[in-house]
């Protein structure tokens, strides 16, 4: 199906059920082929923008190319950079998977998930093995839920490069921070969530320093001081004001 053969949306009421199914499959295949051509064009564009003699410039060739592609697609340069990564991965690492996309046999969403999950593989021989695995399994993977799909891809990767499975990055997706709950009492707001371990360690260290920075006459409990210290951080202060009756201490803080 070409762009010229795609019917107008308003004409679909005249198409029978079988014809609608044909349109669905035809448009899906055409969209996949178009994505393959777009990605190939992005890879070629990057090759023409590569200038090793500019390696010490303030703006790298990659960032400059991503900015141009982002403007062309009306997306951020960060997302454009992701498109460049995907384009090069299909061209250089997983060409057989890329060929399926170019033939309209797999959707771009499935291909993107596979390439992302396999992004930590760095050995060329492993790329070739995984490319064969992906091509063999991709038609079975299309019916899986996202969670089961990622598990199946990771299982294939683990056979050849266990260290490249995205365990850490998958876990990091669960980080969050929520402030406030419907059951909170007046004057109080609950705060709960999950932080990256390094961030949590830094926060804990900072709060401990603030909590123990007040004098021994501060009337608050340690938990109360920690809560107030977090509020002080939100206000941009690394110092927790003391609440004792010592005027000199209060004035100094």
pLDDT in tens, 75-122: 998 999 999 999 999 999 999 999 999 999 999 999 999 999 999 899
| Burial class of residue 14 in the structure, from the number of CB atoms within 10 Å of its CB (0-12 exposed, 13-18 middle, 19+ buried) | exposed
Q: Are residues 142 and 98 in the same domain?
A: yes
Q: Are residues 47 and 86 in the same domain?
A: yes
Q: Are residues 10 and 121 in the same domain?
A: yes
Q: Are residues 128 and 17 in the same domain?
A: yes
Q: Is the pLDDT of residue 221 over 70?
A: yes
Q: Which of residues 150, 172, 194 is at a domain's end?
A: 172
Q: Which of residues 172, 203, 219 is at a domain's end?
A: 172
Q: Are residues 76 and 154 in the same domain?
A: yes
Residue pLDDT, tens place only, 128-169: 999 999 999 999 998 999 989 999 999 999 999 888 887 545
Q: Are residues 109 and 229 in the same domain?
A: no
Q: Are residues 127 and 204 in the same domain?
A: no
CB 154 within 8 A of CB 165: yes
Q: Are residues 73 and 148 in the same domain?
A: yes
| Percentage of the chain exceeding pLDDT 70 | 89
Q: Are residues 16 and 133 in the same domain?
A: yes
CA dist 42 and 66 (Å) reads 9
Total of domains in the chain? 2
Residue pLDDT, tens place only, 179-212: 888 888 888 888 888 887 778 888 888 888 888 8
Q: Is the pLDDT of residue 4 over 60?
A: no
Q: Is the pLDDT of residue 170 over 80?
A: no
**C-alpha distance across the termini of the chain, in Å:** 73
Q: Are residues 104 and 214 in the same domain?
A: no
Q: Which of residues 172, 200, 231 is at a domain's end?
A: 172
pLDDT, the chain, mean: 86
Instruction: Kindly write down the DSSP assignment for every residue of 102-150, as one continuous string.
Output: HTT-S-HHHHHHHHHHTTT---HHHHHHHHHHHHHHHHHHTTS-HHHHH
Question: Tokens 């501060």 identify what position?
Answer: 218
Q: Are residues 44 and 66 in the same domain?
A: yes
Residues 6+ apart with CB under 8 A from 244: 214, 215, 217, 218, 219, 250
How is residue 205 written in tokens? 């260290």
Domain membership of residue 133 as a residue range: 3-172
CB 90 within 8 A of CB 46: no
Q: Are residues 243 and 156 in the same domain?
A: no
Residues 6+ apart with CB under 8 A from 54: 60, 61
Residues 6+ apart with CB under 8 A from 20: 12
CA dist 101 and 39 (Å) reads 10
Q: Is the pLDDT of residue 126 over 90?
A: yes
CA dist 47 and 69 (Å) reads 13
């Amino acid at each position: 199906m070409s762009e010229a053969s795609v019917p107008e949306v308003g004409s679909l009421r005249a198409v029978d059920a079988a014809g609608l199914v044909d349109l669905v499959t035809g448009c899906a295949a055409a969209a996949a082929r178009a994505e393959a051509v777009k990605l190939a064009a992005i890879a070629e564009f990057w090759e023409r923008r590569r200038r090793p003699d500019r390696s010490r410039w303030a703006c790298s060739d990659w960032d400059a190319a991503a900015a141009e592609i982002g403007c062309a697609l009306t997306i951020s340069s960060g997302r454009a950079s992701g498109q460049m990564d995907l384009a090069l991965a299909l061209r250089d690492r997983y060409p057989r998977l890329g060929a399926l996309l170019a033939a309209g046999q797999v959707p771009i969403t499935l291909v993107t998930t596979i390439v992302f999950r396999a992004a930590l593989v760095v050995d060329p021989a492993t790329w070739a093995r995984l490319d064969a695995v992906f091509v063999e399994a991709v038609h079975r993977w299309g019916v899986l839920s996202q969670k089961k799909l990622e598990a199946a891809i990771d299982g294939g990767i683990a056979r050849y490069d266990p260290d490249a499975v995205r365990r850490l990055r998958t876990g990091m997706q669960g980080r969050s921070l929520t402030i406030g709950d419907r059951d909170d009492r007046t004057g109080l707001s609950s705060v709960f969530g999950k932080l990256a371990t390094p961030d949590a360690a830094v926060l804990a260290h900072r709060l401990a320093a603030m909590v123990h920075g007040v004098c021994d006459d501060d009337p608050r409990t340690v938990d109360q001081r920690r809560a107030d210290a977090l509020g002080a951080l939100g206000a941009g202060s690394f110092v927790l004001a003391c609440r004792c009756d010592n005027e000199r201490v209060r004035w100094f803080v």
